[in-house]
Amino acid sequence: MLAAGLGSRYGGVKQLAGFGPQGEPLLQFALHDAARGGFGRAVLVIRPEMENDVRDLVEARLSRILPVSLAFQRNELDGRASLPARQKPWGTAHAVLAAKDVADQSFGVINADDFYGRAAFEALGRFLRSGSGNAAVAFQLGDTLSGFGGVNRGIITRHPDGSMASIEEIVDIERDDEGNIVGRSVEGPRVLAHDTPVSMNMWGFSAGILAPLAEEFRDFLARADLARDEYPLPAAVHRAVRHHEVRVEVLTPGSPWFGVTHGADGPSVRAELARLVAEGHYPDLSRP
C-alpha cells in the first residue's frame, strides 16, 4: 500500500485523513476488501517522518483487519543522502522497490488513498493465486475524473490476447464545456472515450518483477533531474514490458473507483463511504 506521497494537489497527507463516517482513512476500506479478496498481510510504504502517526493508526484500527508491517521510502540512493533541495519521494516505482525485502512472493500494489472496490481485490486475488504472473487492474477513464480540476491517468493499450502493449500518461484530463473528455499527451491535445481503460495504480506482481523494476529505476536516475523528477510505477512497468518482455495481463472487473485528487473531492468521497457503510458493505465502527 503506497502511502508516502506528499498530497500536493490535495493540500495534505490524504493517506491518513479520515473520510469514513467514523474517521476511517481510505486505506482501512482497502484492507477490508483485501482480506475478503484472500490477501494475508499488508505492507504500508511510508516516509520515515510518518512512522509515529502510522503506527498509532495500525494499532488502533488496521491490525484487527490484517497483519500490517511498515516499509520506508527514503530520499537516499545507495546509502548516500539525496540532494538537499529534494523534498518529494522518488515516485511510486521506487516505493515498490522500498518494500523489496518483504516482497518475496506474489503481491498486489495499490495507492493507500484510493478506493478500488471489493470486486477489484477479488479479481486480483484470484489472479495472483493462479500463479499467472503480473497484472494491471483497469478502470474506465470516465469513472475516474474529478469535477474540480484535471487529473493524470495512465492510458492502457492491449495486444489482441488482452495483455498490456503500452501505458501512456495523459495529463490534465477533464470534461470540456461540451462534455467531451480531453487531456494532453506529449504529442498534444487528446480527446478520449469514457470507456478508455486506465491504470489507477492497482497491480499484481510476481516477485520476479523486482529485478527489471530496479534496472529501470537505475536507468531513470542516469537521465533524471535528481532534484525534481519522480519515476511513477506505470512508466516503469511500460518500460519493463518493452525492454524486458515482461507480460502484464489487463484485468477488467468492472469495479467502482473513487479517490481524492483535489481538496474539493472530499465531500463526495465521504458521502459515498457513508452510503456503503449504511448499506452494510463495510462494518459500522460505531457499533460495539
Q: What percent of the chain has pLDDT over 70?
A: 93
Which amino acid type is present at position 227? A
pLDDT band at 51 (very low <50, low <70, confident <90, very high): very high
Domains of the chain, with CATH numbers? Answer: 26-278 (3.90.550.10)
Statement: residue 274 has pLDDT above 50 = yes
Determine how β-strand 114-115 pairs with β-strand 107-109.
Answer: unpaired
- The least confident of 58-67, 72-81, 179-188, 239-248 is 72-81
Query: Please, are residues 192 and 173 in contact by the beta-carbon 8 Å criterion?
Result: yes
Q: State the Cα–Cα distance between residues 169 and 232, nearest whole angstrom.
A: 10
For residue 154, the model assigns a pLDDT of 95
Statement: residue 283 has pLDDT above 50 = yes
Q: State the Cα–Cα distance between residues 231 and 168, nearest whole angstrom.
A: 13
Give 7 or 140, the one with higher predicted confidence. 140
Statement: residue 190 has pLDDT above 50 = yes
pLDDT, one tens digit per residue, over 127-173 is: 999 998 999 999 999 999 998 889 999 999 999 999 999 999 999 99
List the one residue out of 261, 285, 268, 228 whose CA is nearest residue 7: 261
Determine how β-strand 151-158 pairs with β-strand 164-175.
Answer: antiparallel
Q: State the Cα–Cα distance between residues 69 and 18, nearest whole angstrom.
A: 20
Vertex 131: Cα angle to 129 and 137 (nearest 5) = 70
**Residues paired with 168 in a beta bridge:** 155
Backbone dihedral angles phi then psi of residue 275, each to the nearest 5 degrees: -65, -45
23: Cβ contacts below 8 Å, ≥ 6 apart: none
Cell of 281: 458493505
Does the model's pTM come out above 0.85?
Answer: yes
For residue 106, the model assigns a pLDDT of 93
Statement: residue 97 has pLDDT above 90 = yes
Q: How many residues does the chain have?
A: 288
Q: State the Cα–Cα distance between residues 169 and 155, nearest whole angstrom.
A: 6
pLDDT band at 11 (very low <50, low <70, confident <90, very high): very low
Statement: residue 83 has pLDDT above 60 = no
**Residues paired with 158 in a beta bridge:** 164
